[in-house]
Amino acid sequence: MKAITIPEPGGADALVLADVPSPEPAEGEVRIRVAAAGVNRADIMQRKGFYDPPPGSSPYPGLEVSGTIDALGEGVEGWAMGDEVCALLVGGGYAEQVCAPATQVLPVPAGVSLEDAAALPEVVCTVWSNVFMTANLLPGQTLLVHGGSSGIGTMAIQLAREVGARVAVTAGSAEKLQACKALGAEVLVNYREQDFVEEIKAATDGAGADVILDNMGAKYLARNVDALAMGGRLVVIGLQGGTTAELNLNTLLRKRAAVIATSLRARPLPEKAAIVAAVREHVWPLVESGRVRPVVHSRHPLGEAAAAHREMESSGHIGKILLRP
């Protein structure tokens, strides 16, 4: 089969289409003939050599796919050859075939095309596990999403809106903010022109955000803690603004607030299985009803993965970028 390999870490041209052996499903795994693969920031980090796949997993990039099951490993129940599915992966999605634990596979939701379903697993599992399972966002509370127009952001806005929360976003352009508004964001902050702490306080009568979903890490830590409401929860999922910063524990203590940081890829299989099961129970009905949808910005042939990475790195996109084998 063909797959995108990374012979040497580096720029977008480090992504090389090559002939590699087809993977064989281990016990408890299914093999998927890939219809589309989602592109994620983490793939760029892996390409640059900063985010190695966990030991024993596929060396190729790609954290989510959609496609058709074409082989079943020992002991797999609940899935059959030919099923149209999407799956959360630790890697290997930039390929014609990939194996996934059966517990990380979801049916393609009714009303979503086989290809577009590739835009769902990573963002839905990340948002659901962090914003709802970990930070416990409740109806009537305020969620601040940094990078509201990102793949993650476009899903976070929709899911928070659906549970009856109020959504604030930051983004770097008026066009991106308008896209966030169309998805349900009510408070729009252009971080290039406005201070998000001031804006979130002004929008909440000085209270602040109950939950913040953060992609910036160190650069935003102090301001995020300032922007939190009493009992607020800051969930850091990205480190685009660096890893090391000072934290004022007194501010945190007075607010009885929490700072949490998580990575989905490294979580043990049973935790991922629980997240995928929760997503199937709580999110899939929203997608099947048409109220929540994958936001797909562009599609590239698998062999042009470099162009897809350049597009993501230039940050011109709104929503997800897909690769088609």
Ligand X SMILES: NC(=O)c1ccc[n+]([C@@H]2O[C@H](COP(=O)([O-])OP(=O)(O)OC[C@H]3O[C@@H](n4cnc5c(N)ncnc54)[C@H](OP(=O)(O)O)[C@@H]3O)[C@@H](O)[C@H]2O)c1
**Using an 8 Å Cβ cutoff, are 295 and 129 in contact?**
no
| Shortest Cβ 12–ligand X spacing (Å) | 14
146 binds ligand X (CB under 6 A): yes
Alpha-carbon span 40 to 127, nearest angstrom: 14
**Using an 8 Å Cβ cutoff, are 310 and 11 in contact?**
no
Alpha-carbon span 165 to 236, nearest angstrom: 19
Per rule CB under 6 A, count of chain residues that contact ligand X: 26
Among 31, 41, 161, 233, binds ligand X (CB under 6 A): 41
170 binds ligand X (CB under 6 A): yes
**Using an 8 Å Cβ cutoff, are 118 and 24 in contact?**
no
Shortest Cβ contact with ligand X: which residue? 238
Judged by CB under 6 A, the stretch of 3-11, 204-212, 262-270, 279-287 that binds ligand X is 262-270
* HSE-up of residue 289 (Cα within 13 Å, Cβ side): 10
The nearer residue to ligand X, 171 or 323, going by C-beta atoms, is: 171
Q: What are phi and psi of 165, to 5 degrees?
A: -90, 165
Q: What's the one-letter identity of residue 79?
A: W
Question: What is the DSSP track for 125-160?
Answer: HHHIIIIIIIT---TT-EEEESSTTSHHHHHHHHHH
Q: In Å, how far are 95, 139, 144, 227, 251 from 255, measured between CA atoms?
A: 47, 20, 17, 11, 6
The nearer residue to ligand X, 142 or 149, going by C-beta atoms, is: 149
The nearer residue to ligand X, 51 or 79, going by C-beta atoms, is: 51
Residues 9-38 that bind ligand X (CB under 6 A): none
Among 94, 132, 191, 284, binds ligand X (CB under 6 A): 191
| Shortest Cβ 213–ligand X spacing (Å) | 8
| Shortest Cβ 86–ligand X spacing (Å) | 15
Among 216, 229, 259, 323, binds ligand X (CB under 6 A): 216
Among 35, 99, 152, 287, binds ligand X (CB under 6 A): 152
Alpha-carbon span 317 to 99, nearest angstrom: 29
Bridge partners, residue 324, by sequence: 301
224 binds ligand X (CB under 6 A): no
Contact mark string toward ligand X, 240..259, x via CB under 6 A: x-------------------
238 binds ligand X (CB under 6 A): yes
Q: Which residues of 287-325 are buried (b: 16+ CB within 10 A; e: fewer)?
A: beeeebbbbbbbebebeebbbbbbbbeeeebbbbbbbeb
Among 142, 150, 158, 204, binds ligand X (CB under 6 A): 150
172 binds ligand X (CB under 6 A): yes
Among 57, 68, 113, 315, binds ligand X (CB under 6 A): 315
Alpha-carbon span 177 to 153, nearest angstrom: 11
* HSE-up of residue 42 (Cα within 13 Å, Cβ side): 27
| Shortest Cβ 174–ligand X spacing (Å) | 11
- Could you give the angle at the alpha carbon of 217 between the alpha carbons of 266 and 161, nearest 5°? 85
262 binds ligand X (CB under 6 A): yes
89 binds ligand X (CB under 6 A): no
| Shortest Cβ 103–ligand X spacing (Å) | 17
The binding site for ligand X (CB under 6 A) comprises 40-42, 122, 126, 146-147, 149-152, 170-172, 176, 191, 215-216, 237-238, 240, 262-264, 312, 315
